[in-house]
Structure 1
Amino acid sequence: MSLLDRLAPPLFIFIWATGYIAAKLAAPYADPLTFLSWRYAGVALLMLGLALAARAAWPTPRQMLHLAVAGLGIQALYLAGVWVSIRQGLPAGTAALIVNLQPVLVAAAAPLIGERVSLRQWAGVALGLGGVLLVIWHKLNLGAGFGMPLLLCLMALLGITAGTLYQKRFVPQFDLRTGQVVQFGVALAATLPLAWALEPMRIVWNADVIIAMGWSILVLTAGGISLMFHMLRHGRVTAVSSTMYLVPSVTSVMAWLLFDETLGAQAIAGMGVTLLGVYLVVGQRKPETTA
């Protein structure tokens, strides 16, 4: 196993967790779809520059089509669903719980892409979800989560789950630079018209928004998404998705350090349960695959 293979999961968890911090910085000053449109354009331009400088290989037309379909789910539907649902009043804890159903859906659908989930891994999936529930329980408000915001968050869950499975099945190998030009170009093409139609496209370019945008483009998307794609290329999709169980725990620690949010004994216990669950999923020494 290479050094990158070893470092990718913890780096991905840390980077992905900072997404909620960036969102908290930008939310008061930027409409969500407008912010995401700028973000997608920035990543597409950054990756295009890197691809041209390195003369990277471009996907075939068939691969481009598959990347575009996966990108609509992983980028456009997921991010838009989460950002807009929270802006419309869905509590962040409720949104986090819904999105963290992803490993359950991925494990259930894994046989469709030739992966078999063992009983040990199913136990880990269940423990991980239970740990996440303990971590964010004090932030949950399910009574306020009905209506359109809930549907948008469910759309985000289905989008990233379907996109992850689709990409693993149809286009697991591609150059990360040119592939992300395709995916974020498609996400921009899908999101920008919605921003124009549904929002006043307000964005105040103050220090918080600039920091959030820069971090979102250079670290969250270019770094975090690249690491996720690397893990999907070299690992089992069930194990990769299960690492997301650790994101709420890391986010809670960050919020405690940066915003003085409460971090109680129940949350700490939940982190321990989540770690055990993820270990049961990713610690399988002999991966089982179907023919």
Structure 2
Amino acid sequence: MSLDRLAPAIFVLLWSTGWVVAKFGAIVSEPLTFLSIRYAAAAILFAGLCLASGVAWPRDRRTIAHAVVSGAFLHGLYLGAVWWAIGEGVPAALSSIIAALQPLMTALAAPFFIGERLSPTQKAGLCLGFLGVLLAVLPKFFGQGAAAIPAFAIIVNMLGMAAVTYGTIYQKQHLQAGDIRAIATLQYVGALLVTVPFALFLESLHVEFGLAFVALLAWSVLGISMGAVLLLLYLLRRGQVSRAASLIYLVPPIAALQAAAVFGEELTMPMILGTAIVVVGVYLTNRKDVAPAE
């Protein structure tokens, strides 16, 4: 089976673990501090991988700048906002719903930035996927102290979603050339330029070093920051940006399944049904035999 077929499923499985990591991470470290350490480790490992593989680094200053800027949006602003919001009391379920708005926002914005058009079937798939996410996750949110959630933290979470939407389009628009390993290295430098100042300003840089922290950091760097991100960059180059973004719809339901297994959270019938609807929506959005609407 080709990488083109396997990459979407592997990406979703890896990326969805980020919600479990975020919940555990809040126990052993402050969120922005943890992300800064994670990004620094990822940048160092990617740089080592590039050197060992003889990767050609971008020589064009514009390409380097584009990589740094895209990383600031895709990793720094996005995950920084999400992790901070969860740390401030936004439930992971609600945060995942906000993140699930990204494919719709991307589909709406892509025609204006890169002239990408979707067929009616693809549009229906995007809407169906979003409805499936709502059905799967909303029952976990209501009735669990919604009034106590800080409004400002929700706004920050939404700004993070907007940042990753723009970062996805920016990546597709400006970074179609160059080795993706070198691009990823520079992107984590851009992410550090965002998270480090905010960590210094908002946090005390507290970290509880131990086995739990090392395990979380190792998975965050190797499984998510390296494995999942390389797959995302690969998908963005191989297909439409809206198709790649539609995979985000699969993350909240799968994250809910992981939370049920790891934390013993309840797995309800709406979550199971919503996950099935999401799968159909992503299939429609990613159908390669559908011609773009004229």
TM-score (norm: length of structure 1) = 0.95
Cα distance in 1 for partners of 2:140, 2:93 equals 5
2:118 corresponds in structure 1 to 117
SS in 2 for 1:89: coil
Contiguous gaps of at least 5 residues in structure 1: none
Partner AA of 1:168 in structure 2: K
Structure 1: distance between partners of 2:290 and 2:119: 11
Q: Which moved more, 1:41-50 or 1:90-99?
A: 90-99
Q: 1:190-210 CA distances to partner (integer Å, 9 max, x unpaired)?
A: 211221121010010122211
Separation (CA, whole Å) in 1 of partners of 2:207 and 2:163: 26
Unpaired runs of at least 5, structure 2: none
Kept in 2, the 8 Å contact 1:13–1:244? The answer is: yes
Amino acid at match of 2:35: L
User: 1:22 is matched by which residue type in structure 2?
Assistant: V
Partner of 1:227: 231
Q: CA deviation at 1:162?
A: 0.2
Q: Percent identity of the aligned residues?
A: 37
Deviations 1:140-176 (A, max 9, x none): 2554445220121011101100000011011123212
Q: Which position in structure 1 is the counterpart of 2:130?
A: 129
Aligned with 1:27: secondary structure? helix
Cα RMSD (Å) of the superposition?
A: 1.5
What is aligned with 1:96?
96
| Superposed displacement of residue 44, structure 1 | 0.4
* Cα distance between partner residues in 1 of 2:72 and 2:293: 28
Report if aligned partners of 1:134, 1:266 keep a CA contact under 8 Å in 2. yes
Given that residues 119 and 291 in structure 2 are in contact (C-alpha distance below 8 angstroms), is that contact kept between their aligned partners in structure 1? no
Counterpart mapping for 1:78-93 below 5 A: 78-93=78-93
Matched, 1:188 2:192: yes
* Cα distance in 1 for residues equivalent to 2:182 and 2:237: 15
Q: How does 1:141-180 map to 2 (within 5 A)?
A: 141=142, 143-180=147-184
State the AA in 2 paired with 1:90. Answer: V
CA distances 1:233-287 after superposition (whole Å, capped 9, x unpaired): 0001111100110111111111222222111111111011111111110114144
Q: How many residues align?
A: 289
Q: Give the stretch that moved more between structures: 119-128 or 7-16.
A: 119-128
Residue type of the alignment partner of 1:219: G
The equivalent of 2:278 in structure 1 is 274
Shift of 1:85: 0.4
Letter in 2 for 1:130: L
Per-residue CA deviations over 1:53-73 (Å, capped at 9, x if unaligned) read 112011121111111111111
1:204 equivalent in structure 2: 208
CA distance in 1, matches of 2:49, 2:149: 41
Is 1:68 matched with 2:72?
no
SS class of match (1:28): helix
Tell me the residue number matched to 1:77.
77
Residue 140 in structure 1 maps to residue 144 in structure 2: no
Aligned partners of 1:82 and 1:153 also within 8 Å: yes
- Measure, in 2, the Cα distance between the counterparts of 1:188 and 1:98: 24
1:105 is paired with a residue whose SS is helix
Partners of 1:143 and 1:239 lie apart in 2 by 35
Provide the TM-score with structure 2 as the length reference: 0.94
